[in-house]
Structure 1
Amino acid sequence: MTGPTTGTLRVNGATLHYDVRGRGPLLLLISGGTGGAASFDAIADDLAAEYTVVTYDPRGMSRSTLDDPEAEQSVAEHADDALRILELLSPDEPARVFGSSSGAIAALHLLTAHPGRIERLVAHEPPVVEVLPDAPAHRALLARVQATFRAEGLMPAMAVFAAGLKKDGDTSEPMAASEPETESQPKAGMEAKAGFTLPPQAAARARQTMANLPYFVGRIVPSFMSYVPDVNRLEALADRLVLACGQDSRGELPYRPAAFLAERLGIELRHFPGGHTGLTTHPAEFGEFLRKALRG
């Protein structure tokens, strides 16, 4: 299969870079964390055998630049970016959408704000912690992350954040500081310790992931994890929504809101291979589960 076609789209306050593969009904993939469009490289070509697959770097990430680098970020604006891509590439037909983590939060808002544009949405572990009964504890976590970021810097803040995502609030042994959604960096670090050198493309992705981290921690995390979804609206649209979690994520913070919403909406909670980053750790299996979820 030939490489993707790349385009740019001017939106309010930013220029988005997107990639298009394949042919068929449009499938928009919205990334979480700092990975951007590259986080879907392992599954996009396979999906392109059935769909016109569109990936993009969210505003402020990788190739998608902000007019004002200091601009505050909002879920609604990120969802509007996704809408503009759908209007450009599928103006006459509703599309299928997959969102992961913070990308799933933007996708949920897109569904509630513009339901006519979405035929089916698969949302994988959207950390909409405000729906949880213990939401105040998670607000406190976010406040600690931001305070640590300002006082001590990026990696200490990521360590606080990662520890807060662990099962049952256990912070005794923090996860790798970048585990929540920045899969490339830990791999780069492990290979460096082992005396290996990453292939050039993987090394470039790891560098870009790290370059995106300050923006993710400082702008995306506090804005997106304080977002309150319209649960009543989601209930009315539940027939076109699939909520998914990693089968290895049970008990972890990103798992809990999706499980809570699935029960609240009366829909099945799908379990995908791996954990929060199953897209990276189990790409072939993850892609197959996504394909099935998109069909019904």
Structure 2
Amino acid sequence: MAETVTRALQTVGATLRYDVRPGTGSDPRPLLLIGSPMDAAGFATLASYFGDRTVVTYDPRGVGRSERTDGAPETLPEEHADDLARLIGALDAGAVDVFASSGGAVNALALVTARPDLVHTLVAHEPPCAPVLPDREAALAVCADIHRTYLREGSGVAMAKFIALVSRTGPIPADWAEEPAPSPEAFGLSAEDDGTRDDALLGQNMRGCTSYHPDFAVLRAVTARIVIAAGKESEGTFCARAAAAVAEGIGVPLAVYPSHHGGFLGGEHGQHGAPAEFAEALRASLAEESPVVQPFAFPPVS
């Protein structure tokens, strides 16, 4: 395999760094692997299963090697989508296939909404779109509280609340604020505030990402093929419930992938999923084969 090449791209308010891994196969269409705030390093294991494809990964603005130059404290999915559109344009290879995880899946939905001509197939895995949930008001309130907590008390206390949110099963009750706050120590975190406020998850992306409502009318009409997926082990959690509601809103079946929210991870960030099985499911989706469909029993989107 040819050596990975790292490139820089100037966008509006940021300098993006992205990596191109040339493949050994004959498929000319690049495969773009994206997350948010996960950077390119988080996709090392998954990329290794697609050595036959040209694989592109990147660091989103404000993360890793991609510096922000606009000084803005928060970023909207539409801004990330514009970054992605410019990155795909710089590849000069036509429409690409995209696997997008978590916040990256939200940004990819915004990309396909604005520029469907740039995407052949999108596999959006567990996009945390709170507005599509029946318990949307409570979910959005929790996300806003996590952001406020971060600004007020720092990352440890806020991250404990975030972990409690994404690991919770079932709808968020309206009286969630009356529940005891989770302890940072319970998650191996420090409650001490180190004074920094540059966390891309808790600060830059938290509110914009989770408050994004996909334009279902547009997404139902685009030429790009859209697959919405959730992990089998994620059933009932915030991100999986949102994925099911997004799939229903677009009018496509929910593809149930192996493992959990980070099912493609092979030790990155200390997390392990089932990357070989996950890559097999992703390859099937990209090949337009029927995904494994086991609908979750969630309330319909409204």
TM-score tier (shorter) = 0.7 to 0.9
Gaps of at least 5 residues in structure 2 are 174-178, 190-195, 266-272, 289-302
Answer yes or no: is 1:274 the counterpart of 2:259: yes
- Cα distance in 2 for residues equivalent to 1:111 and 1:270: 19
- TM-score relative to the length of structure 2: 0.80
Contact 1:162 / 1:175 at 8 angstroms: preserved in 2? no
Deviation beyond 2 Å, 4+ runs, structure 1: 68-72, 169-179, 263-266
Taking structure 1 as the reference length, the TM-score comes to 0.82
Q: How does 1:91-102 map to 2 (within 5 A)?
A: 91=93, 93-102=94-103
**SS of corresponding position for 1:8:** strand
Deviation by residue 1:214-237 (Cα, 9 ceiling, x = unmatched): 222011111111112111111223
Structure 1 CA distance for aligned equivalents of residues 186 and 98 of structure 2: 26
After superposition, the Cα gap between the structure-2 partners of 1:176 and 1:285, relative to the gap in structure 1 and judged at 3 Å, is: farther
- Residue matched to 1:44: 47
CA contact (8 A) 2:125 2:229 kept: yes
Which residue does the alignment assign to 1:86? 88
1:292 aligns with 2:288: no
The answer for the alignment partner of 2:216 in structure 1 is 231
1:65-144 → structure 2 map (5 Å cutoff): 65-91=67-93, 93-144=94-145
**Shift in Å, 1:110:** 0.6
Alpha-carbon contact 1:158-1:178 (below 8 Å) kept: no
Question: 3-state DSSP class of the match of 1:138?
Answer: helix
In structure 1, the partner of 2:227 is 242
Q: Does 1:156 align with 2:141?
A: no
The 1:175–1:271 alpha-carbon spacing in structure 2 relative to 1, beyond 3 Å, is: farther
State how far apart, in whole Å, the 2-side matches of 1:44 and 1:231 are. Answer: 30
Query: Structure 1 residues 175 and 108, CA, compared in 2 at 3 Å: closer, same or farther?
Result: farther
* Aligned mates of 2:258, 2:185 — CA distance in 1: 22
Alpha-carbon distance between aligned partners in 2 of 1:95 and 1:116, rounded to the nearest angstrom: 9
SS at match of 2:121: strand
Q: What is the correspondence of 1:9-20 to structure 2 with a 5 Å cutoff?
A: 9-20=9-20
Task: Pick the aligned partner of 1:252 from 227, 234, 237.
Answer: 237
Contact 1:61 1:212 (C-alpha < 8 Å) held by counterparts: no
The answer to whether the 8 Å contact 2:197/2:203 transfers is: no
Give the AA of the match of 1:294.
L
Q: Secondary structure at the match of 1:144?
A: helix
What is the SS of the residue equivalent to 1:47?
Answer: coil
How far apart, CA to CA, are the structure 2 residues paired with 1:18 and 1:178?
A: 36
Unaligned runs of 5+ in 1: 180-185, 190-210
Work out the percentage of aligned pairs sharing the same amino acid: 40
Which one-letter code corresponds to 1:250 in the other structure? Answer: E
Question: 1:274: Cα distance to partner?
Answer: 1.1
Provide the residue aligned with 1:262 in structure 2. Answer: 247
Give, in whole Å, the separation in 1 of the partners of 2:223 and 2:186: 33
In 2 relative to 1, CA 269–40 (structure 1 residues): closer, same or farther, beyond 3 Å? Answer: same
Q: Distance in 1 between matches of 2:185 and 2:212?
A: 23
Q: For 1:133, what is the secondary structure of its paired residue?
A: coil
CA deviation after TM superposition for structure 1 residue 45, in Å = 2.7
Question: What one-letter code is carried by the residue in structure 1 that aligns with 2:90?
Answer: L
What is the Cα deviation at residue 238 of structure 1? Answer: 7.9
How far apart in 2 are the matches of 1:156 and 1:173? 9
Verify the 8 A CA contact 1:21 1:45 in the aligned structure 2.
no
Alignment-mate amino acid for residue 62 of structure 1: G
Kindly indicate whether residue 30 of structure 2 is the aligned counterpart of residue 26 of structure 1.
yes
- SS of 1:98's partner is strand
- One-letter amino acid of the counterpart of residue 147, structure 2: Q
SS of 2:49's partner is helix
- Post-superposition Cα deviations, 1:238-277, rounded to whole Å, max 9, x if no partner, equal 8710000000000000001110122233312111111111
